[in-house]
Amino acid sequence: MLRWRALSSSDPLGATQRWRLDLAYDGQAFSGFAYQPQHDTVVGLLRATLAKTLRLEQEPMIVGAGRTDAGVHAFNQVVHVDLPVATKVRSLESERLVTSLNKQLRGRVQILRAVPVSSDFHARFSARWREYRYLVLESKPPGLESTNSWSWSVEGPLDLKAMNRAAKNVVGTHDFRAFCRRPTNSSADEPLLRKVLTARWERLGDEWVMSARHAPVLRLTIRAQSFCHNMVRCLVSTMVAVGQGELSEEIVKERLESLSRYQLPQAAPAGGLALVGVAYDDGEGR
C-alpha cells in the first residue's frame, strides 16, 4: 500500500492535494454512481478503496462530473478528491496511485489515470460538456432477450432518417421537463433548462452487428453541457417509437413546447446507456 501522511488539526489548510481521477465501470454491478450508505455504488466503492489503499483515518469525499443511474455504464467518468499530502513526492506518484487502486478494485472499477490538479478544478462545475451514447439492437433474434446489460433490443426495422429529424429538435437550449424525472423537493413549475450541443443516430458497421448476434445496431450520440435525470433514456424511447412509426417525428418538438409527457413511452432501459466523455478546458477527458 501507499503510505500517506494522515490529516491533523495542525496541518495548514488541511494539507490536502486535489486529484483528478478518470475511470470506467460496468454499471450493472452497482446501484448507481452516487454515494448511498446502504447500497453498493461507484462512489461508495471508491471512497472505501481510497481509505484502505492510502490508510486514511476516514473515507474522503468524492465529486463526480455527473451521476449515472443503476445499470448505466461509463467509459470515461471524471471525479475529483482531496487527499492528504504525501510525505515524499515521487515522479511516479500518479502511476503508483493508479496501480495501487486498480489492484484493490479488482476490475469492478478501472482507474484510467490519476493526476494532481489545482484546487480550482471541479469535476462537475469545470466540465464544458458531457457525452453519452445509447445502443439499440434493431430486431429480436431468437434467444436474444429484449434487454441486456449493454443494449436495448427492439422490433425493427427502424426509420433512421425520421429518428434523426426528431433528434434535431433537441439541439439547443430547451426546457426538458417532459423528458426528465424531477429532482426531489423541486417545484413542478421550476424549468429544467439544458443546452444540447449535438444529437445524432447512426447505424453501425459489421463488426458491431457480429457482436450483437447479427442484429443491426443503432447508436445515439448526444452531447450537452449537462443532463437532467433520465433525460437521455426518455429521449431514446421516444425516438425509437418514432422510428417504429408509432409516434410522429414532431412529437419531440411538441412535448418540448408543451412540457407534458402525455402519450410518451417510459424511459428506455438503463443497460444501453453509457457516459463516454467529459470535456474540460484542457481538452482532456473525452
Instruction: Return the active site residues.
Output: 69
Q: Which residue has the cell 465501470?
A: 25
Tell me the backbone φ, ψ of residue 45, rounded to 5 degrees.
Answer: -65, -40
Point out which residues pair with 152 in neighbouring strands: 136, 147
Q: Which is nearest to 66 in space by CA: 272, 254, 277, 259?
A: 277
Evaluate whether 70 touches 270 at the Cβ level (below 8 Å). Answer: yes
CB proximity list for 96: less than 8 A, separation 6 or greater? 2, 90
Cα 114 to Cα 97: distance, rounded to the nearest angstrom: 7
CB proximity list for 13: less than 8 A, separation 6 or greater? none
Cα 103 to Cα 107: distance, rounded to the nearest angstrom: 8
Tell me the backbone φ, ψ of residue 275, rounded to 5 degrees.
Answer: -80, 120
Cβ neighbours around 45 below 10 Å, total? 18
CA atoms within 13 A on the CB side of 261: 15
